[in-house]
Amino acid sequence: MIRFENVVKRYPGEGADAVHNLNFEIASGTICMLVGPSGCGKTTTMKMINKLIRPTSGAILIDGRNIDTVDTIELRLSIGYIIQDIGLFPHMSVGENIATVPGELGWKKERINARIEELLELVDLNPKVYRNKKPNELSGGQKQRVGVARALAADPPIMLMDEPFGALDPITRAKMQDEFLHIQEKIRKTIVFVTHDIEEAIKMGDNIAVLKAGQIVQLSSPMEILSNPADPFVSELIGGRNSLKMLNLMLCGQIMKSLSPSEGEKARATGHGLLGLKATAQDALSEMLRTGQRFIYVEDGDRIVGVLEFEDLLERASRHGLSQ
């Protein structure tokens, strides 16, 4: 767990605090998104966690331990850090980049080699193809995957991510977001993720901290922020079409009507449209609108296990009385 206690960051000569009296917690194994306009203090807040920026007053604790009592190098080696421009060492191969922190920690060569192979597989880069490539031989998306692998190399419990996908094109960015969420399901790191994009925050976060002028104006789940914004500033930040955004937070497997095995077998014979358990309700609605069908089946592997109906999705989208 990461806890901020009365944390203030004040720069000499500036009238207002860059960060003012922060008090909040980030639970272990969750993704906390820091979002807000430029200059709101989100990057400053994140960088104080690994002492890239030192607070003027207050305390930051990791698992109950004040980071002021931890050696700075030791602290940083225990925290993965990913930035927008990735920062791979151009003269090193992909494998050498990933091995940087384990090497600093004194891991044996065999352990490092095994970790490189494991992580390249995890980020969907074939070790035989990519391990010996240099960064200039990679696409932007591939570099970002290597950046994720390098940040995970020493298996840190905490990862800091500073707009890591911001420089990617929209299609690659969406794919990287999906892949990272899939990785997080397996590794369950505590992640602090800075973004200026509320759509990304809603998609990626377990919780979202909305900052304004160095203070948190709302810290809630994506669903709570969409359904109950704290004030007009948050409402303006999240924009319209909240109902459809909420559908993106609902997985088909969570909201489907279950079917018995015999019902599933009959459904399979109809040849009707199918989506997986982890497709979103928005995916289901889009597919229904595309095909003109008023329901869609949900499959788990080779079994049809549920059904979603058009009317049910519309009811969910309007349940909170939000704008379409």
Q: What is the pLDDT of residues 258-317, one digit of tens each?
A: 888 888 888 877 777 788 888 888 888 888 878 878 888 898 888 889 888 888 877 776
320 and 229 Cβ atoms separated by less than 8 Å: no
The sign of the dihedral angle between the CA atoms of 269, 274, 276, 282 is: negative
> Which pLDDT band, with edges at 50, 70 and 90, does 205 fall under?
very high
Sequential DSSP letters for 227-287:
HS-SSHHHHHHH-S-HHHHHHTT-BHHHHSEE--HHHHHHHHHHT--EEETTSBHHHHHHH
* Whole-number percent of the chain with pLDDT over 90: 43
Tell me what the mean pLDDT of segment 205-220 comes to.
94
Q: Is the pLDDT of residue 237 over 90?
A: no
Beta-bridged to residue 35, according to DSSP, are 195, 210
* Euclidean distance between CA atoms 128 and 314, whole angstroms: 48
For tokens 């080699």, name the residue: 113
Q: Identity (one letter) of the amino acid at 13? A: G
Q: According to the model, what pLDDT value does residue 40 have?
A: 92
pTM: 0.79
Q: Is the pLDDT of residue 320 over 60?
A: no
Count of CB atoms situated within 10 Å of the CB of 13: 5
Tell me what the mean pLDDT of segment 168-178 comes to.
83
Q: According to the model, what pLDDT value does residue 318 have?
A: 63
Q: Is the pLDDT of residue 16 over 90?
A: no
Q: Is the pLDDT of residue 5 over 80?
A: yes
Q: According to the model, what pLDDT value does residue 245 have?
A: 73
Sheet holding 57-62, edge to edge: 19-26, 2-9, 57-62, 65-66
Q: Is the pLDDT of residue 324 over 60?
A: no
Q: According to the model, what pLDDT value does residue 48 have?
A: 96
Among the listed residues 130, 21, 303, 281, the one whose alpha carbon sits nearest the alpha carbon of residue 295: 281
Q: According to the model, what pLDDT value does residue 167 have?
A: 74
* Euclidean distance between CA atoms 122 and 132, whole angstroms: 17
Tell me what the mean pLDDT of segment 111-117 comes to.
94
Mean pLDDT of the chain: 87
Q: Is the pLDDT of residue 256 over 90?
A: no
Tokens, residue 11? 């720069």
